[in-house]
Each structure stands twice: as C-alpha cells, then as structure tokens.
Homo-oligomer: A and B are copies of this chain.
Amino acid sequence: MTPPEGPLPLGATIGILGGGQLGRMSAMAAARLGYRTHVFAPDADSPGMQVATTHTRADYADTQALARFAAAVDVVTFEFENVPAATLAALEGRVPCRPGLGVLAIGQDRLEEKRFLERAGVPVAPWAPVHDESGLAAALERIGLPAVLKTTRLGYDGRGQAVLRDPADAAAAFARLQPKPLVLEAFVPFVAEVSAIVARGADGAVAVYDVTENIHRHHILDLSFAPARIPPVVAEAARGHVRRLAESLGLVGLMALEMFLLADGTLLGNEIAPRPHNSGHWTMDACACGQFEQHVRAVAGLPLGDPARHADAVMGNLVGPEGLAAWTGLLAAPGVAPHWYGKAEAREGRKLGHANLLMPLDSLAARPAGWRPPVFAG
C-alpha cells in the first residue's frame, strides 16, 4: 500500500511484527514520539507486548489475525528479519509497511545479501553458494581453507554455521546444517569487527551513526565500543558503505551493516540487518536520538533525528545466567544506564538485557588493546 503522505499523525498506531527486545525498545521509542503501538507476535507475554498499547498473539501465518492487525494499525514495521516474507506480503496490500518486502527478503537470504552488497559497492569475502556435496567440493577448491559454511536462511548469533579448517570437516558440516542451500565463505583474517547503522527517511534524508567496534563471545555480541578505534578514513569508508546500501535500496527505515576490518584497512561487508541492531544499543543513551527512535521516525515519516554522539559509550550485553548474575552490580555502577528486556527465563545464550557505560567524549580513544571496562568484567 502506498505510504501516507507526510508524517504519521500523533496518536496513530504503529504495528510491530515481532515481540522481542527490539520490538520492545521500538515500542517505547514510539511512545516517546506520541504514537500508540500494536505488537503482533506468536509468543505469550513477549517483551514487546509488556510495553505495547495493544497486542495480538497469533501465528505469523494466521491470515485472519493479520487482516485484523492491518485494519487496526496505521503503518507496519518489523523487529527482526526472520518474520516470514508471506506475512509481510499479506500486510503490504492493506497497510503501508516500512521497510517493505524487498528489504526484508534481502535480509533473509545470505546469497541475496552478498549479491546486494557487491552491487552496492561493498566488498565481501570470497564466497560461493553450496547446493550439494559436489558443489561444496568445488567451492572449497575455489575458496580454500579455513572457511565458514553457513546456512543462507534463519541464521543469527552464530547459529547455522560451521568453521572448516580441514577438508575432512566438510561432509559432516554439510550434512548437519539446515536448511539448504548453504554458502561457503572464506575465513578472513580480520583485525576488528565493526558495524555501522544508517537510517533513511521517507524524504530521502540519511543519518549515519558513528562506527562501532564489536567484540563477540561464543558467537554472540559481548561488547560494543563507540566510537570504534579505527583510522578516520576507515570510519568514513564504513559510513559511506551503509549510506550507499540505504540509498541503493531506497530504504525507509534503519539498517545495520557488520563488517570485518582487515590489517590493510579494507572493510569487508559481512551481514546486514534491516532493523535496529544490537551493536547500536549504545545510541540509546549516548545520542540525542537513539537507533530505536530513529527507526520509528523513519517508519512514521518524521524528519530523522540527530545521530551525533554526545558521549563515548561501551555497551555490554547481558546474556544467559551470567548476564542475570551481573545485573545487580551494574545497577549500582556509576555512569551506567541499564536495560532489561522482561524475559521470563535466563536461558543459556539468551540476550536478557544490556547496559551502556557512558564516558566523556574522546576518552575511549586512549584505551589499551583488549581493554574491558571493569564494570563488564563478568
């Protein structure tokens, strides 16, 4: 459906597909901007439902519930890219969806994603699609070892991938990973993982946040440092990459790009996410307009907010039982803004919350290699 002309009026309702923490924080940002929210998700008592004005608990394939949802909201967005494309397709005829199906589809398929990155001028590590075992052998021949074999769909937080270091690993990994097809990627010797987040408004304006440096643990984001400690020319290149992605897609919404930084300063695009991103949580407390508000602004057709950073920040994820155990200490730590997601169980590997440590501008530049703020010392 054609998006509305001009900004969504105050008091209008933003529909959010997905009830996780990203939907929760988007809903709170929408409320700050004077909007109502309606979360649609299959899970009972999801984090997003706890703060939304209204919610629908239904399966993403429930066409009747989707029709009622479409009729009850003024615009639809999604909080994660694994919402079935058919769900968004069912809504697009009835209510404006931002971002739309085309953007969702790219985020759902690693092959589409790589082709899109290359078309937009973002270099990626050597890769090859793998449809069967003979294709895997050919791909290994071309790309060499070490390499990473990944599912092309439904992967997140390191799920659905296997590192291949020996040709003997290949067959078992191929058999295990589902669904097919897979993609083989060269394992690149990166010196840092960084990410950049861009928003593009309905008016075509673009806002880019400062580049973030990310540290993972067990394939899950552990810490994000803003700003990344990278040369200005590299930061500018990273910002240019996400800007081109947003413009080439005609994005109306928010998009994150994870990149590998090589020793020679090359940035290789790794993954995109067409939504608020874990590595942008620091913006909630260190920018006048954080990523969730920015997302809502784009979806609502408002002018984009100011992405300037007024403090240095380190975001620490709170994951699983260990994250739960750290909560009380973080509450008492100076300069820390804590965020908890309202999940019922502290299962291993589950993101339960995060905390933003705010520091004076430019204080992070002097950090030693491998430095970890004591407050996140686990």
Residue of B nearest to A306 (CB): B334
Residue of B nearest to A342 (CB): B34
Q: In the assembled complex, which residues on chain B have CB atoms less than 8 Å from the CB atom of A356?
A: 288
Q: In the assembled complex, which residues on chain B have CB atoms less than 8 Å from the CB atom of A7?
A: 328
In Å, the complex CA distance between A336 and B297 comes to 14
Q: Is the Cβ of A331 less than 8 Å from the Cβ of B358? A: no
Q: In the assembled complex, which residues on chain B have CB atoms less than 8 Å from the CB atom of A339?
A: 32
Chain A interface residue count, Cβ-Cβ cutoff 8 angstroms = 46
In Å, the complex CA distance between A53 and B45 comes to 10
Q: With A51-B53, A288-B337 in contact, do A310 and B32 touch (Cβ < 8 Å)? A: no
Q: Is the Cβ of A334 less than 8 Å from the Cβ of B308? A: yes
Q: How far apart are A276's CB and chain B's nearest CB, in angstroms?
A: 15
Q: Is the Cβ of A310 less than 8 Å from the Cβ of B308? A: no
Q: Is A366 an interface residue (CB 8 A)?
A: no
**Partner among B306, B335, B336, B360 whose Cβ is within 8 Å of the Cβ of A336:** B306
Residue of B nearest to A311 (CB): B310
Q: Is A87 an interface residue (CB 8 A)?
A: no
Q: How far apart are A215's CB and chain B's nearest CB, in angstroms?
A: 22
Q: Is the Cβ of A344 less than 8 Å from the Cβ of B303? A: no
Q: With A33-B338, A50-B31, A288-B335 in contact, do A344 and B310 touch (Cβ < 8 Å)? A: no
Can you list 13 contacts pairing A with B, beta carbon distance less than 8 Å? Answer: A10-B342, A11-B342, A28-B51, A31-B50, A32-B340, A34-B327, A34-B341, A36-B50, A51-B53, A285-B288, A288-B337, A302-B331, A308-B335
Chain A residues engaging chain B, CB cutoff 8 angstroms? 7, 10-11, 24, 27-28, 31-36, 50-51, 53, 285, 288-289, 297, 302-303, 305-306, 308, 310-311, 324, 327-328, 331-342, 344, 353, 356, 358, 360
